[in-house]
Amino acid sequence: MTLKRKKVSVIGSGFTGATTAFLLAQKELCDVVLVDIPHMENPTKGKALDMLEAGPVLGFDAQITGTASYADTKESDIVIITAGIARKPGMSRDDLVQTNQQIMKDVTTEIVNYSPNAIILVLTNPVDAMTYTVFRTSGFPKERVIGQSGVLDTARFRTFVAQELNVSVKDVTGFVLGGHGDDMVPLIRYSAAGGVPIKSLLKPEQIEGIVERTRKGGAEIVNLLGNGSAYYAPAASLVEMAEAILKDQKRILPSIAYLEGEYGMEGIYLGMPTILGANGIEQIIELELSDDENKALLKSASAVKAVMEVLA
Ligand SMILES: NC(=O)C1=CN([C@@H]2O[C@H](COP(=O)(O)OP(=O)(O)OC[C@H]3O[C@@H](n4cnc5c(N)ncnc54)[C@H](O)[C@@H]3O)[C@@H](O)[C@H]2O)C=CC1
Ligand SMILES: CC(=O)C(=O)O
């Protein structure tokens, strides 16, 4: 009897898509199909072949296919959407929303056609609104359409806390909630180093500095790179979420989840503490928030709603 390996398709073979595909294969989590537009078919095939040829050196065994045909994605367990454009000079935020929204609709129609039982992970920005578009277009249940931002934002927060304390990042925990923007909400009360609340380890001004740097974490990398946005940490974040689902790990990770009454909100995708397992989002965890934390979360939700208002 041959065991069928799990299959993950990654849509968009750019910086984040290619890095995600490589990490998934390197960890032998699944076979990977990397998809891009027809114009990009040969470069996509080239990237996939190049990754495959790293297998003998790194000692991993996974199929990696580059393609422009969605037929190759048939019966994927997970489909990860990284396709889309980033904002260019002269382009408004609304232009970006319109363009990426159309790409989400086109891509999702193909995903539904070939992988009707898949779990979809969305990365494309503005990610809260794009996850909502994929949810509406797919008709999938809410637990099977999930956005990525909180794992990345929390990773940045943990990195900065570890740097400030000069301790191992492995011992730093945290939780960043809300939309993927300047109003995201790092929950200081739930952040600790080795189990010790960071409030008793750092001065208020140090914590404020870390919160601000986390909120601007994406822009910091954009400014340094000069020609694109972050992709190593975003890809690692997608892979952590995909692994939790593929292995039914029941990990408590922040995900962009659809709210139907949780935290007093309805009809919006927003970063929340969730349990991720084989069924996708298996639970949204409702934390007790202080008045200030609740106010900050509502402010972040308003920013997401403002983007949703320009959705067609
Ligand atoms: N949510 C998050 O935390 C993060 C979100 N992002 C977002 O992810 C997206 C991708 O970023 P990068 O990979 O750096 O961009 P990139 O420009 O390197 O790659 C995008 C790829 O999408 C492809 N593409 C465009 N239309 C397509 C379609 N209809 N079907 C299939 N492929 C298509 C392009 O040909 C390109 O290869 C951007 O919107 C970026 O802002 C990036 C990092 C973190
Ligand atoms: C690009 C992006 O969303 C980030 O680096 O946070």
pLDDT at 1: 59
Other Cβ atoms within 10 Å of 69 Cβ, number: 14
pLDDT digits (tens, 9 = 90+) for 274-307: 999 999 999 999 999 999 999 999 999 999 999 9
Mean pLDDT value across residues 81-107: 86
* Contact 14 CB / ligand 2 (< 6 Å): no
Q: Take residue 140 and report the two structure tokens written for it.
A: 């999938």
| Residues marked as catalytic | 180
C-alpha of residue 44 to centroid of ligand 1, in Å: 13
Residues present in the chain in total: 312
Give 93's pLDDT tier (boundaries 50, 70, 90): low
Reported as half-sphere exposure (CB side, CA atoms, 13 A), residue 248 has a value of 3
* Contact 103 CB / ligand 1 (< 6 Å): yes
C-alpha of residue 139 to centroid of ligand 2, in Å: 27
Angle between helices 127-138 and 93-114 (to 10 degrees): 40
* Contact 229 CB / ligand 2 (< 6 Å): yes
Residue 66 β-bridge partners: 34
* Contact 278 CB / ligand 2 (< 6 Å): no
Mean pLDDT value across residues 29-34: 98
pLDDT at 4: 79
pTM of the model: 0.97
State the maximum Cα–Cα separation within the chain, in Å, rounded to a whole number.
Answer: 60
- Is pLDDT at 158 greater than 90 in this prediction? yes
pLDDT at 95: 75
**Structure-derived torsion over alpha carbons of residues 70, 71, 76, 78, reported in degrees to the nearest 10:** 0
ipTM: 0.99
Please tell me the residue having the least CA distance from ligand 2 atom 4.
218
Please tell me the residue having the least CA distance from ligand 1 atom 7.
124
Rounded to whole angstroms, the Cα distance separating 22 from 72 reads 18
Residue of 39, 47, 85 to test ligand 1 pocket, by largest number of atoms within 8 Å of CB: 85
Q: From the CA of 150, which ligand is nearest?
A: 1
